[in-house]
A and B are shown apart, each in its own frame.
Chain A
Amino acid sequence: MAAIRFSNVGKRYEGGFDALTGVDFTLESGEMAFLTGHSGAGKSTLLKLIMLMERASRGQVQVGDQDLNSLSRREIPQHRRRIGVVFQNHHLLFDRSVFDNVALPLQIAGYDPQDAARRVRAALDKVGLLMREKQNPIALSSGEQQRVGIARAIVNKPSVLLADEPTGNLDPELSEGVMRLFEQFNRIGTTVLIASHDISLIERMRRRTLVLRGGRLVADGY
C-alpha cells in the first residue's frame, strides 16, 4: 500500500513562482527515503504539502488512502495527528519541560494522562533522553534538542514520519546517531521521508533518494 503518493503535483506561490512542477512518486508503506536537492529546490514545499501546511496548486497528493485535496480546513488537525514531523529548528517550547514538550501531541489528541506519561517516557527512552525529562529543553545541547523533537514526532506512533533537515545543525557523529534513530523507527513499520542536503550522509545510508532540482523530480533511485 502506498503511504505517500504524488501525482503530477505542482505548487505555485503567489507571484507566480513555481516551487514544484509535475512531481510524481510513490512511497510505499514502511519505506524509508531521502529527499535531496539544493536549497530552494522544493524540499520543504514538498514536505509542507504532505502535512497540509500548504495545498497543491495542481495534481493530487495522497497520504494513506486519503486524497488531501478533499480534506477541509476542519479536517487538517486530524490529518496532522497521523504524521510525525521533525523540524530543523526543533520548534521546542522553552516554557515547559522536555516531558511536557513531548507530551503535547498526546494532550492535544486527548490521551489519558497516565497513558500519555507512559508513552512519553517510552519515546524519551528510545531517543536516550529519559533522564532529562524534567529539564527545560533550553538547557540541552543542539543534538539533544533535536532528539526531543524526534521523540515528540514519534510519541503518538504516526504512520508517516517526516524530517526537514534533521541534521542541519549537527556534527557528523550526531547526525549519524539521528539517522540510526530514523532507521529504528522505519524498522518497526513507520514510513520515513527525510529531506536533507547532506549528500555524504545520504550516500552512506544507501536508501532510496529522490532528487529535486528547480521544483522538478530529476532522479529517483538508490
Chain B
Amino acid sequence: MAIKPQEKASPRGAQKHHVGHLDKSRGWLRHHLEVAVQAFIRLTVTPVATFMTLAVLAIALALPGFLFTVVNNVQQFSSGWDTNPRIMLYLDASVSDARAEQLSLQLMLHDGLSGVELIDREQGLREFASYSEFAGMLSLLDTNPLPAVILVLPADHQASALQQLQGELEAIPEVSEAVLDLEWIQRLNAYLLMAERFSWVLSGLLALAVLLVVGNTIRMTLESRRDEIVVAKLVGATDAWVRRPFLYSGFWYGLIGSLFAYVLVQLSLYLITGPANQLAQLYSSSFMLQGLDLTSGLILVSTGTGLGVLGGFLSTGRHLREIEPS
C-alpha cells in the first residue's frame, strides 16, 4: 500500500527536499548510533579473525601498561627512603655505650651536620632480630656482635663536601668505618629514569604497531566494501559519511583491545604480587604492589581507543580518494 508523500506548496511535484536542522542533527546522531552498532556486529561476524586482531592489540597495549606500572611501583617503593645523603659511622666494637653516647652528643655540635642519631648496640640487635631471618642465630651467640652505629646527616650535599666530611669522620679514633650511604640511591634513580625513558620509547613503537594493525585490518574490510562506497558516493555521501563505519571499527578494536590489555596488566601484576611483597619485606618496607589505578586504567583505555580511531582514520584517508567513482 503506497502512501503518497504530501508536498507543500509545490505546484510541480519534483522540487528538491529540505531536511530541517533539527532533523539533520537528530539524523546525524541516529546515524552515529546505527553505524556504531553495525561496526560492532561486523566484528562478531568473523569471530576468530577479530579475536586474533584484538589479542595482538591487547598485547601491544599491555606491554607499556605493564612497564609503566612496574616503574611506578619501584619509584613509589624507593620514595619511602630518604634520598638525603647520610653517613653511617660504624664504631669500634671496643667502644663502650657511654662513650658512643658521648661521641654522638659531640657530633651534634658539629657545624657540618644537620642531624645525628645513635643506634646503640642493643637497638641494633633488636632491629636486626626483627627484620632478619638470621634472628635465630643471634641467640646462639653469647655476646652482641653488632657495633654501635651513629647515623649523621650532612648539611652540605655536594659530592666533594660529602667526601671531605666522610674522611674527616673516619679519622675519629672510635670510628672504624664511615660509609657514605648515597651512591646506590643515586644509581637506583638513574636506573628508574632509564626504565621510564625505555618505557616511553617502547610505548611509542607499540603505539605505532597498534596503528598499523588496526589500519591494516580496516583496509581489508574497506576493500570488501568497495561497491558500497562507490554507490554511496554517487548518491551524495560525504567523505565523513563514508568514513564513519571504519572509524567506529577502529573505535571498537581500540576499546576492546585496551580493555583486554587492562585485564592482562592486572593479571601479570597479580602474578608477581607475592614475590614483590616478600622483596619489600626484606627491605623492611611497608610497600604494597600497586595495580593500575583508575586514572592509569582510563589513560590506557582512552589511549588504546584513540589509537584505534586514528588507525581507522589513517587507513581510510588515502582510500577515500582512490575509491572515487570513475
Binding site for B on A (CB under 8 A): 30, 51, 53, 74, 77-82, 85, 91-93, 95, 104-105, 107-113, 118-119, 121-122, 124-126, 130, 152, 156-159, 185, 188-190
Query: B23 in the interface, Cβ–Cβ < 8 Å?
Result: yes
Indicate if the CB atoms of A190 and B236 lie closer than 8 Å. no
User: Which chain B positions have C-beta within 8 A of A79?
Assistant: 236
Given known contacts A78-B236, A93-B228, A93-B231, A108 and B241 CB-to-CB distance under 8 angstroms = yes
The distance in angstroms between the C-alpha atoms of A220 and B11, with both chains bound, is: 30
203-251 of chain B: CB within 8 A of chain A: 227-228, 230-239, 241
Indicate if the CB atoms of B231 and A121 lie closer than 8 Å. no
Indicate if the CB atoms of A157 and B23 lie closer than 8 Å. no
1-37 of chain B: CB within 8 A of chain A: 1-5, 12-17, 19, 23-24, 26-28, 30-31
Indicate if the CB atoms of A85 and B234 lie closer than 8 Å. yes
Indicate if the CB atoms of B16 and A77 lie closer than 8 Å. no
Query: B326 in the interface, Cβ–Cβ < 8 Å?
Result: yes
Binding site for A on B (CB under 8 A): 1-5, 12-17, 19, 23-24, 26-28, 30-31, 227-228, 230-239, 241, 324-326
Indicate if the CB atoms of B4 and A111 lie closer than 8 Å. no
User: Which chain A positions have C-beta within 8 A of B239?
Assistant: 77
User: Which chain B positions have C-beta within 8 A of A125?
Assistant: 2
Indicate if the CB atoms of B26 and A93 lie closer than 8 Å. no
User: Which chain B positions have C-beta within 8 A of A82?
Assistant: 16
Nearest 9 CB-CB pairings of A with B: A189-B12, A110-B27, A125-B2, A81-B236, A80-B236, A188-B13, A190-B14, A105-B235, A189-B14
Indicate if the CB atoms of B237 and A108 lie closer than 8 Å. yes
Given known contacts A77-B236, A91-B230, A93-B231, A159 and B15 CB-to-CB distance under 8 angstroms = yes
The distance in angstroms between the C-alpha atoms of A109 and B12, with both chains bound, is: 22
The distance in angstroms between the C-alpha atoms of A116 and B153, with both chains bound, is: 81
Indicate if the CB atoms of A189 and B19 lie closer than 8 Å. no
Indicate if the CB atoms of B17 and A157 lie closer than 8 Å. yes
The distance in angstroms between the C-alpha atoms of A111 and B161, with both chains bound, is: 79
User: Which chain A positions have C-beta within 8 A of B31?
Assistant: 107, 110
Indicate if the CB atoms of B236 and A108 lie closer than 8 Å. yes
User: Which chain A positions have C-beta within 8 A of B234?
Assistant: 51, 53, 80, 85, 91
The distance in angstroms between the C-alpha atoms of A112 and B34, with both chains bound, is: 13
Indicate if the CB atoms of A77 and B14 lie closer than 8 Å. no
The distance in angstroms between the C-alpha atoms of A222 and B5, with both chains bound, is: 34
User: Which chain A positions have C-beta within 8 A of B26?
Assistant: 112
User: Which chain A positions have C-beta within 8 A of B324?
Assistant: 53
User: Which residue of A107, A108, A112, A159 is within 8 Å of B23 (Cβ)?
Assistant: A112
Q: Among the interface residues A79, A104, A113, A126, which one has the most CB atoms of the partner chain B within 10 A?
A: A104
CB distance from A150 to the nearest CB of B (A): 13
User: Which chain A positions have C-beta within 8 A of B238?
Assistant: 74, 77, 108
Residue of A nearest to B10 (CB): A189
User: Which residue of B3, B13, B232, B235 is within 8 Å of A157 (Cβ)?
Assistant: B13
The distance in angstroms between the C-alpha atoms of A141 and B62, with both chains bound, is: 54
User: Which chain A positions have C-beta within 8 A of B233?
Assistant: 77, 80
User: Which residue of B4, B17, B326 is within 8 Å of A156 (Cβ)?
Assistant: B17
Given known contacts A80-B235, A104-B232, A108-B241, A122 and B17 CB-to-CB distance under 8 angstroms = no
* Extra 18 A-B pairs, beta carbons < 8 Å, given A80-B233, A157-B14: A53-B326, A77-B238, A79-B236, A80-B236, A81-B236, A91-B227, A91-B230, A91-B234, A93-B231, A108-B235, A108-B237, A108-B241, A112-B27, A118-B5, A122-B5, A130-B1, A157-B13, A158-B16
CB distance from A127 to the nearest CB of B (A): 11
Given known contacts A77-B237, A81-B236, A111 and B19 CB-to-CB distance under 8 angstroms = yes
User: Which chain B positions have C-beta within 8 A of A107?
Assistant: 31
Given known contacts A77-B237, A110-B31, A112-B26, A158 and B5 CB-to-CB distance under 8 angstroms = no
Indicate if the CB atoms of A122 and B12 lie closer than 8 Å. no
The distance in angstroms between the C-alpha atoms of A105 and B237, with both chains bound, is: 8
CB distance from A48 to the nearest CB of B (A): 9
